[in-house]
Structure 1
Amino acid sequence: MRKLLLALSAIALTAGAVHADPKDDREALMKERGKIVGGLVKMVKGETPFDAAATLAALQTLDANAEKGLNVDALWPAGSNTDETSPKIWEDNAAFKAEAAKFKTVADAAVASPPADLAALQATVGTIGKECSACHEVYRIKK
């Protein structure tokens, strides 16, 4: 009986995830992205020691996050804009998709050639930050 309840609970959770709100999904994606980059920034600032293995793991997680972000049509479907979401996303959706692809390219490159030392991590984080900023300048409403 307990196994049946656990199985039904798992199915219910999975079904709920399939029908999640796109706004919530994209906010969770971006919060995760910020947390990953924030961890790398702590290494850059010397708040945590440089660790090549942890850096690679973070970059791999960031790359997986970037892959999810390529699903623009699911995360930013027409009609899902809010006061916090720039209408430019829908006005020039092709350019927005190109920005998502650029971020994925930056993440791919970081994983393909992971930083071996702090100086290389600083350069990598700088490149990632520039791409984040480029997208935010156009597609994020400043609060």
Structure 2
Amino acid sequence: MIRTALVAAGLVLGLSAVLAQSDPIAERRNTMKGVGAATRDGAAMAKGEVAFDAAKAQTIFKVYADAAKKMPGLFPDNARTGGESTAAPKIWEDQVGFKAAFAKFETESAAAGSAAKDLDGFRSAFGAATKNCGGCHEAYRIKK
């Protein structure tokens, strides 16, 4: 009985992973929601609306770096449209530039984590990181 339950649980987890991989539009939307939440937290900290927290700053930049590493793989040819996607055709027309933008974002986000030891360092690093977001959205996202 326990063995059957463990096998069933394993199958459910495996199926969930396959379904997540089979819907890259949903996966990239969820990843960007995480980036958006981190950005809201970072903006509040940068504006002084909440106290500077070095651990939280590290988490924000880790979310950015992890998303930057993951996102380029979530744009296969079969996920150009559908699922309320705002991905611009330029992503597939300029794969080199698109991947380079995420590589830059990943590198700068990783470096920003070490620069964010105090509020001034955080503000500077956060501003640079979010410029990457804006640049990519300008070039590779359809405005709705």
TM range (shorter): 0.7 to 0.9
Residue aligning to 1:60: 62
Q: Which runs of 5+ in 1 are unaligned?
A: none
Aligned length: 139
- In structure 2, relative to structure 1, the CA distance for the partners of 1:45 and 1:3 (3 Å cut) is farther
Residue correspondence of structure 1 range 71-110 to structure 2 within 5 A: 72=72, 74-82=73-81, 84-110=86-112
Identity %, equivalent residues? 39
Show structure 1 runs of 4+ deviating over 4 A: none
Residue aligning to 1:139: 140
Single out whichever of 17-26 and 122-131 deviates more from structure 2: 17-26
Mapped pair 1:16 → 2:22: no
Residue aligning to 2:41: 39
| Equivalent-residue separation in structure 2 for 1:7 and 1:119 (angstroms) | 52
| Equivalent-residue separation in structure 1 for 2:44 and 2:2 (angstroms) | 44
- In structure 2, relative to structure 1, the CA distance for the partners of 1:10 and 1:138 (3 Å cut) is same
In structure 2, the residue corresponding to 1:48 is in which secondary structure? coil
Offset of residue 63 of structure 1: 2.0
CA contact (8 A) 1:103 1:128 kept: yes
Offset of residue 55 of structure 1: 1.4
Offset of residue 19 of structure 1: 3.3
Mapped pair 1:122 → 2:123: yes
CA contact (8 A) 2:112 2:126 kept: no
